[in-house]
A and B are shown apart, each in its own frame.
Chain A
Amino acid sequence: MSYSRFILSLAQVLLILGLAPAVSWFIKKMKAASQNRVGPTLLQVYADLGKLFRKGMVISERASWIFHGMPYVLFSVTLVAASMVPVFFEGSLLGFMGDLIVFVYLLALGKFFLALAALDTGTSFGGMGSSREMTLSSLAEPALLLALFALAYHAKTLSLEGLAAHFNRQAPFRILFFTLPALGALLIVAIAESGRIPVDNPATHLELTMIHEAMILEYSGPYLALIEWSHEIKQLIFLSLLANVFFPWGLSNAESVAGLLFSPAVYLLKIFSLAFVIGWIEILSAKLRLFRVPDLLGVAYVLAVLSLLGQLMMGRWM
């Protein structure tokens, strides 16, 4: 990889790391505005993270190496996944052919350790959170994989950067027939993976309604900071995927300097627009009962199936 591409890819990863809390801030601010509150400032979100890093930790005596290791595993896995996603230019740091599948399984690996660590301390909240999370991810992951496969079939490549590059080359505003359901599927999966309403309420601590929160209840201090940050990075990764595959205009291909200056701005615009949409969905809907979430994920699955097999049936339509 050439020197400039390397620098750019690194910059991409750093951007994701830095931007992740800001997206959460944006959605929190939206919700506050809709509830007639003021909400946190932008600095507040970063300051919270920093505060957590400086605090001490209280850890149960029963905790094993899994409990101690999980935040690191989760963070590194999410970081690697982040380096596979094209952000504002068409390449990525660790992108390679087939990284689409590795991407999904990296995230699954993180989730696996998260669920294990929740069980580690032996509290009932943790177990409950783990079982719920695993139920939902057993539905969300096939939907995610199928939706990505549907897009990959269209683009004839299995790498994420290849996907972005392919869709960037289609003429602007040309709306593709069979990738529209994939958009719907990925949107629903993004909501599920980010733990947003209607799947999971990120601001709740009621045992009836917690999924993600239940799993990290025992964590404090730097561990908690790492976990929260990983969660925000995962949210941003999904939004970047959505933005760069379905609305790829503005993705530079490292050829012109002007393009390079222009594309991060476009990227920020796209991300915050998507965050706006997700925030809007969060404001307008109520959290679904746990037994209703499989219905929603079933819809995502069906949309992904529709997208993929529809292409197989009717040929690669426009």
Chain B
Amino acid sequence: MEQEWILSIIHLTSMAFLVTSFALLVSPQLFSCIRFYAIHSFLLAVITLSTAFYNHVYHLIISAVLTLVLKTIVIPQIFFRMIRQLGMRKEVETYINIPLSLLFSTLLVFISFYGVGNMKALDLLLSKESVSIAVSTLFLGMFMMTTRKKALTQVLGLLLIENGVFLMGVTTTFGMPLLVEIGIFFDVLVGAIIMGVFVFKIRGAFEGIDVDKLTMLKG
């Protein structure tokens, strides 16, 4: 019975995970984008914890705690401080308007559901739908990176992709060996910090973080 509970929690949080990815994609405000990312990572930590208890893979607990600390608290705080220091405009401009992005994202979600559904090798998995959600999040992250005009939202799209890949790892292979997991976390953190530094530099050189202006190098 307890196992069923945990399974329900995994299902519920996976669906909320997908809905939050959508929310991230369509938020017109930078602050709410970052908050949704924090919620997204929190849901990821919950899924990781539940999987740890369901399959009795206890090193996932460490990964869950790391996700909670790093991605739910530290990285959003870095971004919030960056926004405050840069004083940038808080709306997110897009190349495609929101209803169209929503439709296109739905299409991407269904491509991934269809693709994963067709892979018989994954039938052994407990929650195959989590794999499709991970792949959808991957696609949504890439979509977000290409259709948003602010440099900071490109980084958020990147982090979304990383979250999707992490979910994939948790549900298919119950996480990588601990050493690798810690290395990956470290990489993501350092990457976020370095990208933050570069956003500052862009702001300094280009007066604003509109990636539309980053078109000097051509040919």
Contact B98 A177 (CB under 8 A): no
> Is B210 part of the binding interface, using a Cβ–Cβ cutoff of 8 Å?
no
Q: Which of B68-76, B105-113, B194-202 contacts A (4 or more CB under 8 A)?
A: B105-113
**B192 neighbours in A (Cβ, 8 Å):** none
> Is A318 part of the binding interface, using a Cβ–Cβ cutoff of 8 Å?
yes
The B-contacting residues of A in range 159-216, CB under 8 angstroms, are 173-178, 180-181, 184
> Is A299 part of the binding interface, using a Cβ–Cβ cutoff of 8 Å?
yes
Q: Which of A46-54, A91-99, A309-317 contacts B (4 or more CB under 8 A)?
A: A309-317
Contact A177 B12 (CB under 8 A): yes
> Is A110 part of the binding interface, using a Cβ–Cβ cutoff of 8 Å?
no
A180 and B12 in contact (CB under 8 A), knowing A313-B117, A314-B129? Answer: yes
A314 and B103 in contact (CB under 8 A), knowing A177-B14, A181-B15, A306-B18? Answer: no
Closest to A303 in B: B19
Residues 6-26 of B, flagged 1 when their CB comes within 8 A of A and 0 if not, give 011101101110110010001
Contact B16 A180 (CB under 8 A): yes
- State the interface size on chain A (CB cutoff 8 A): 24
Residues 127-148 of B, flagged 1 when their CB comes within 8 A of A and 0 if not, give 0110010000000000000000
> Is A305 part of the binding interface, using a Cβ–Cβ cutoff of 8 Å?
yes
> Is A290 part of the binding interface, using a Cβ–Cβ cutoff of 8 Å?
no
CB distance from B107 to the nearest CB of A (A): 10
**B99 touches which one: A173, A180, A294, A303 (CB < 8 A)?**
A294
A299 and B102 in contact (CB under 8 A), knowing A180-B16, A181-B15, A181-B19? Answer: yes
CB distance from B17 to the nearest CB of A (A): 11
A295 and B98 in contact (CB under 8 A), knowing A184-B19, A303-B19, A310-B113? Answer: yes
Closest to A301 in B: B102
> Is A264 part of the binding interface, using a Cβ–Cβ cutoff of 8 Å?
no
Category for how many chain B residues contact A:
20 to 34
**B7 neighbours in A (Cβ, 8 Å):** 318
Closest to B113 in A: A313
Contact A178 B15 (CB under 8 A): yes
**A178 neighbours in B (Cβ, 8 Å):** 15
Contact B26 A299 (CB under 8 A): yes
CB distance from A147 to the nearest CB of B (A): 14
> Is A298 part of the binding interface, using a Cβ–Cβ cutoff of 8 Å?
yes
> Is A155 part of the binding interface, using a Cβ–Cβ cutoff of 8 Å?
no
> Is A260 part of the binding interface, using a Cβ–Cβ cutoff of 8 Å?
no
The B-contacting residues of A in range 197-241, CB under 8 angstroms, are none
Contact A299 B22 (CB under 8 A): yes
**B114 touches which one: A301, A306, A313, A318 (CB < 8 A)?**
A313
Contact A298 B8 (CB under 8 A): no
**A158 neighbours in B (Cβ, 8 Å):** none
Closest to B132 in A: A314
> Is A283 part of the binding interface, using a Cβ–Cβ cutoff of 8 Å?
no
CB distance from B193 to the nearest CB of A (A): 33
**A298 touches which one: B18, B28, B102, B113 (CB < 8 A)?**
B102
- 10 new A-B contacts at CB < 8 Å, known A177-B14, A295-B26, A299-B22: A177-B129, A181-B15, A184-B19, A298-B98, A298-B99, A299-B26, A299-B102, A306-B109, A314-B117, A317-B11
**Could you give 6 example pairs across A and B, Cβ below 8 Å?**
A177-B11, A177-B129, A302-B103, A314-B128, A318-B7, A318-B8
Enumerate chain B interface residues (CB-CB to A < 8 A): 4-5, 7-9, 11-12, 14-16, 18-19, 22, 26, 28, 98-99, 102-103, 105-106, 109-110, 113-114, 117, 128-129, 132
Which 4 pairs show the lowest CB-CB distances between chains A and B? A298-B99, A177-B11, A313-B113, A295-B98
